[in-house]
Amino acid sequence: MNLVALGTIALDTVETPFGRRENILGGSVTYFSLAASFFTKCGVVGVVGRDFPSEHFNVLRRRGIDTAGVEYADGDTFRWEGFYEYDMNQAHTKRTDLNVLASFDPKIPKEYKNCKYLFLANTDPEIQLKVLNEVKPTYSFCDTMNYWINSKKEVLTEVLSKVDMAVINEGEARQYCGTPNLIKCGRTLLDSGVKKVIIKKGEHGALYFSEGEFFTSPAYPIENVVDPTGAGDSFAGGTIGHLAKHGTLTDADIKKSMILGAVIASYVVEGFSIDAIKNKTQADIEGRYREFRKIVAFDHQMQ
């Protein structure tokens, strides 16, 4: 397998100023793998309950995603319920039901081992470490969340130092590093042993830090954000999927891939769940990528 992703598959209940949807397809690895599927084959490691509608799998499989690593467990699927207020920047959690996720012990299909690229979405860093050690990928990436920074910082630090790149959001970066300045956060993370790091800033874009490089990218501007859920995971999926397609991890490739990740995330937020992305084509992605190049270009000659 070229790319493998570990994460959650969820049934979300989401309310935004544009409406309310109940038990819609969500979860980090859902968004990640769908975004990555525009560029490469992706195998998914996760768990669902007996109540999980099988048509959701059809959506993933139609996009060439391999679901051999998804376990059906007794019990209900992981559920998240939340809402976004007027400004849409902040998700407010109303309820989280771990259900089958509570006792999830990832089983890695044989054909996923020694994959080229591995993404560890936010989960218990001990599980991230276990999967990392078992899969033994060429290149690995991880995300995390405030909960683990608070409760398991030491194990998390071990994970961060072992992966090739951390992909985290600005709140987590600030919390982990203990400083509000994101440029300082980037340096702090590199100093503490992280090889490369992307800090996601939502509607304000993303920053990339490696030993020899710094890169700042705006987000693709969206006038009608319907549901921001999954934007960060889609950005990671587009970025890492594009990298996996091209097979290298140079600074130059990472920067271009981040723009493609931003393009895919910009489609995702235009609808609830995966509605706005599931039928997009390669031509859509390329069209918006060309548009992106246009709206950030400034380097012409003045007289």
Positions in the binding site for a second copy (CB under 8 A): 86-89, 180-184, 187, 201, 203-205, 207, 214-219, 221-225, 246, 252-253, 255-256, 258-259, 293, 295-300, 302-303
Question: With respect to a second copy, which residue has the nearer C-beta, 54 or 212?
Answer: 212
CB of residue 156 vs a second copy: minimum separation in angstroms? 23
CB of residue 205 vs a second copy: minimum separation in angstroms? 6
CB of residue 217 vs a second copy: minimum separation in angstroms? 7
Q: Is the dihedral of CA 80, 86, 88, 91 positive or negative?
A: negative
Question: With respect to a second copy, which residue has the nearer C-beta, 105 or 223?
Answer: 223
CB of residue 186 vs a second copy: minimum separation in angstroms? 8
**Structure-token match 């992280």, residue found:** 194
Question: With respect to a second copy, which residue has the nearer C-beta, 59 or 222?
Answer: 222
**Structure-token match 């959001």, residue found:** 169
Question: With respect to a second copy, which residue has the nearer C-beta, 66 or 227?
Answer: 227
CB of residue 301 vs a second copy: minimum separation in angstroms? 9
DSSP the chain: --EEEE---EEEEEEETTEEEEEEEE-HHHHHHHHHTTTS-EEEEEEEETTS-HHHHHHHHHTT-EEEEEEEESSPPPEEEEEE-TT-SSEEEEEEE-GGGGG------GGGTT-SEEEE-SS-HHHHHHHHHHH--SEEEE---HHHHHH-HHHHHHHHHHSSEEEEEHHHHHHHHT-S-HHHHHHHHHHTT-SEEEEE-GGG-EEEEETTEEEEEPPPP-S-----TTHHHHHHHHHHHHHHHHT---HHHHHHHHHHHHHHHHHHTTSSTTTTTTT--HHHHHHHHHHHHHHH---PPP-
CB of residue 280 vs a second copy: minimum separation in angstroms? 20
CB of residue 42 vs a second copy: minimum separation in angstroms? 19
Question: With respect to a second copy, which residue has the nearer C-beta, 102 or 252?
Answer: 252
Question: With respect to a second copy, which residue has the nearer C-beta, 102 or 183?
Answer: 183
For residue 27, the tally of other CB atoms under 10 A from its CB is 27
Question: With respect to a second copy, which residue has the nearer C-beta, 142 or 168?
Answer: 168
CB of residue 229 vs a second copy: minimum separation in angstroms? 17
Question: With respect to a second copy, which residue has the nearer C-beta, 78 or 208?
Answer: 208
| Euclidean distance between CA atoms 135 and 153, whole angstroms | 23
| Euclidean distance between CA atoms 130 and 102, whole angstroms | 16
